[in-house]
């Protein structure tokens, strides 16, 4: 199963040019794009079963995005819909291919096509009047070529009018062509204002601006249309991908019918301190639910009885503690000896920021080269009070880190990580430390130090609840101990984690979701995975 490719929108013009130079007709591509849009709209309104012809507005810019809109408008008119077209660029400002289809549209009998000049009060009034009557609006104003500068002037006013119409009429369907106008297709930055689409019909592949926030908040449902450009033209750019359920299922290891617990996978969890036994417990349970055969928790001596009561299926291994009741550096040799029996480690949840404990984590990173996931307080080994030169010398190629944005900014010494820069900065930390970085949050970003990034499609805002990250650490650790590769463990773990939440919110609501609900969700995810694998 192939991963779904995601590209910067700025690559599309170059890809189009290469395809055209290779003999593909540019007008044919525009025709395919516009026809794909119209088919999607027609299909949606056939399902609505209106008792009259659907009424729509198509708003076109001067570039090829507007040309796609002209093609779609003609198709919709031919189908019998009542469509009015407004173009915001004068005719002489239209791109050559756009002008070609504009003329075809204008040649139709009684086709209503207007230049939406804000100085023309009559046309501006008509636009606002028709917006109130419309069943749908097709936004073909700006495409993937819009970058950097905020939308201004009449385009700003038109976008605001479309959004305002939607606020007043919740039944109004808004379609954006390729990307919502006003979203930077390279990074998801909103350029002052942007169309809030209910559906975005994009071409060839998804664009980063469609899946990275804040732009992802404006896209609605995303539909990818094949317009006839072969895959070979897309493959030579940034390596950004989106996994799907089939790909995840294929990367989960098969278990033989005669297997046993130690063959399935043996995970060592190093976590927990006074007041944070819950974090360690959820990591262990997340690992068990994801298929680890044996999970052992290294914990401070004084908390052993607490963990034994909380964790029926987990082996506990108490070691020397600090005065804060966290793990002591003096337990290092014992932990190093113990680790020989395990396939992978999960370190960090609820560990505390005690200097002795953080020193212990650094020594573990230096001395244990088994697959390892590092989270939460454990990340302080990379950015707390530290010997910078010693950190630089660490070999972390066996490590997956799972920071949220605040932790990533601390690791990288930044003030903050803006939403639109998440992919860039996550790639930077992966390259700097030569590890896998899982930047948690909406549309979690997973990057490796070789320059490949994955953007996770599952999950919802209900996961903004304490403890969900601890369960993710357990899921990833579980996959590692079962022999799944580092990158695959990170990507599959995040996907399963988000899908578990998507399943459970149907019963709990997003507002009421808590971390331990995900344990039930993981069970249901694996019910579906096993239907494919066994």
Strands 239-242 and 4-7: antiparallel
Q: Give the pLDDT score at 365.
A: 96
Q: Give the pLDDT score at 516.
A: 97
Q: Give the pLDDT score at 440.
A: 97
In a domain, 307, yes or no: yes
Residue that the structure tokens 């044919």 belong to: 28
Q: Give the pLDDT score at 385.
A: 62
Residue 254 DSSP symbol:
P
Torsion over CA: 99, 104, 105, 111 (sign): positive
Give the Å distances, CA to CA, from 389 to 60, 358, 386, 392, 394: 56, 16, 9, 5, 9
Give residue 51's pLDDT band: very low, low, confident or very high (50, 70, 90): confident
Residue 215 tokens, joined: 């732009």
pLDDT digits (tens, 9 = 90+) for 235-285: 888 999 999 999 999 999 999 999 999 999 999 999 999 999 999 999 999
Q: Are residues 298 and 426 in the same domain?
A: yes
Q: Is the pTM of this model over 0.75?
A: yes
Q: Are residues 308 and 427 in the same domain?
A: yes
Give residue 393's pLDDT band: very low, low, confident or very high (50, 70, 90): confident
Domain residues for the domain of 72 are 7-236
Q: Are residues 133 and 260 in the same domain?
A: no
| Residue 117 or 190, more confident | 190
* Gap between the Cα atoms of 409 and 340, Å rounded: 33
Residue 415 tokens, joined: 């003030």
pLDDT digits (tens, 9 = 90+) for 318-349: 999 999 999 999 999 999 999 999 999 999 99
Let me know: does 346 contact 473? Beta carbons within 8 Å.
yes
Q: Is 377 left (phi over 0), alpha (psi -120 to 50) or beta?
A: alpha
CATH number (domain holding residue 445): 3.40.1190.20
In a domain, 95, yes or no: yes
CATH number (domain holding residue 111): 3.40.50.10260
Mean pLDDT confidence for 179-203: 97
Residue 382: pLDDT over 70: yes
Bridge partners of 268, per DSSP, are 296, 345
As a whole number, the mean pLDDT across the chain is 95
Mean pLDDT confidence for 21-39: 96
In a domain, 360, yes or no: yes
Q: Are residues 315 and 221 in the same domain?
A: no
Least confident of 117-131, 425-439, 500-514: 117-131
Q: Give the pLDDT score at 1.
A: 59
Q: Are residues 171 and 314 in the same domain?
A: no
* Gap between the Cα atoms of 427 and 446, Å rounded: 9
Q: How many domains does the chain have?
A: 2
Let me know: does 502 contact 255? Beta carbons within 8 Å.
no
In a domain, 437, yes or no: yes
Bridge partners of 267, per DSSP, are 295, 344
Q: Give the pLDDT score at 236.
A: 85
Q: Are residues 195 and 279 in the same domain?
A: no
Mean pLDDT confidence for 390-416: 91
Percent of the chain with pLDDT over 90: 90
Give residue 117's pLDDT band: very low, low, confident or very high (50, 70, 90): confident
pLDDT digits (tens, 9 = 90+) for 213-239: 999 999 999 999 999 999 889 988 899
Q: Give the pLDDT score at 187.
A: 95
Residue 392: pLDDT over 90: no
Give the Å distances, CA to CA, from 188 to 18, 178, 184: 25, 13, 5
Q: Are residues 160 and 15 in the same domain?
A: yes
Q: Are residues 220 and 272 in the same domain?
A: no
Q: Give the pLDDT score at 387.
A: 62
Q: Give the pLDDT score at 388.
A: 64
Q: Are residues 219 and 289 in the same domain?
A: no
Percent of the chain with pLDDT over 70: 99
In a domain, 196, yes or no: yes
Q: Are residues 139 and 192 in the same domain?
A: yes
Q: Give the pLDDT score at 49.
A: 84
In a domain, 521, yes or no: no
* Gap between the Cα atoms of 104 and 297, Å rounded: 71
Residue that the structure tokens 């027609």 belong to: 42
């Amino acid at each position: 199963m192939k991963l779904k490719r995601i590209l910067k929108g700025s690559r599309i013009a170059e890809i189009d040019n290469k395809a055209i130079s290779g003999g593909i007709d540019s007008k044919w591509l525009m025709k395919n794009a516009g026809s794909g849009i119209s088919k999607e709209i027609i299909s949606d309104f056939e399902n609505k079963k209106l008792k009259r012809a659907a009424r729509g507005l198509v708003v076109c810019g001067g570039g090829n995005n507007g040309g796609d809109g002209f093609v779609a408008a003609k198709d919709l008119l031919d189908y019998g819909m009542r469509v009015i077209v407004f173009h915001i660029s004068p005719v002489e400002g239209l791109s050559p291919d756009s002008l070609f289809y504009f003329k075809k549209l204008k040649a139709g009998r009684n086709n209503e096509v207007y230049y939406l000049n804000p100085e023309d009060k009559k046309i501006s009034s008509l636009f606002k009047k028709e917006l109130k009557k419309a069943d749908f609006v097709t936004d073909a104003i700006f495409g993937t070529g819009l970058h950097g500068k905020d939308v201004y002037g009449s385009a700003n006013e038109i976008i605001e009018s479309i959004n305002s119409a939607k606020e007043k009429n919740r039944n109004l369907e808004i379609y954006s062509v390729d990307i919502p106008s006003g979203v930077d297709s390279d990074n998801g930055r909103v350029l002052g204002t942007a169309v809030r689409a209910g559906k975005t019909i994009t071409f060839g592949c998804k664009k980063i601006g469609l899946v990275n926030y804040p732009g992802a908040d404006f896209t609605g449902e995303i539909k990818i249309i094949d317009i006839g450009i072969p895959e070979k033209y897309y493959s030579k750019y940034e390596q950004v991908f989106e996994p799907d359920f089939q790909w995840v299922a294929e990367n989960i290891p098969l278990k033989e019918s005669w297997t046993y617990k130690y063959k399935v996978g043996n995970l060592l969890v190093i976590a927990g301190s006074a007041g944070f036994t819950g974090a360690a417990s959820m990591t262990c349970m997340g690992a068990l639910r994801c298929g680890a055969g044996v999970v052992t928790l290294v914990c401070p001596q004084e908390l052993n009885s607490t963990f034994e009561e909380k964790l029926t299926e987990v082996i506990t291994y108490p070691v020397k503690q600090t005065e804060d009741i966290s793990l002591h550096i003096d337990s290092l040799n014992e932990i190093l000896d113990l680790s020989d029996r395990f396939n992978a480690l999960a370190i960090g949840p609820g560990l505390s920021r005690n200097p002795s404990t953080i020193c212990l984590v650094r020594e573990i990173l230096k001395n244990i080269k088994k697959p390892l996931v590092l989270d939460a307080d454990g990340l302080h080994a990379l950015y707390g009070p530290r010997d910078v030169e010693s950190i630089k010398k660490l070999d972390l190629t066996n490590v997956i880190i799972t920071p949220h944005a605040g932790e990533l900014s601390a690791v990288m010494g930044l003030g903050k990580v803006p939403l639109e820069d998440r992919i860039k900065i996550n790639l930077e930390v992966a390259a700097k430390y030569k590890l896998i970085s899982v930047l948690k949050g909406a549309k979690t970003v997973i990057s490796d130090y070789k320059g490949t990034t994955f953007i996770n499609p599952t999950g919802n805002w209900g996961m903004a609840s304490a403890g969900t990250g601890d369960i993710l650490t357990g899921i990833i650790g579980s996959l590692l101990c079962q022999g799944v590769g580092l990158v695959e463990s990170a990507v599959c773990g995040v996907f399963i984690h988000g899908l578990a939440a998507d399943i459970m919110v149907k019963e709990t609501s997003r507002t009421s979701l808590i971390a331990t609900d995900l344990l039930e969700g993981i069970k249901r995810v694996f019910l579906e995975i096993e239907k494919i694998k066994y």
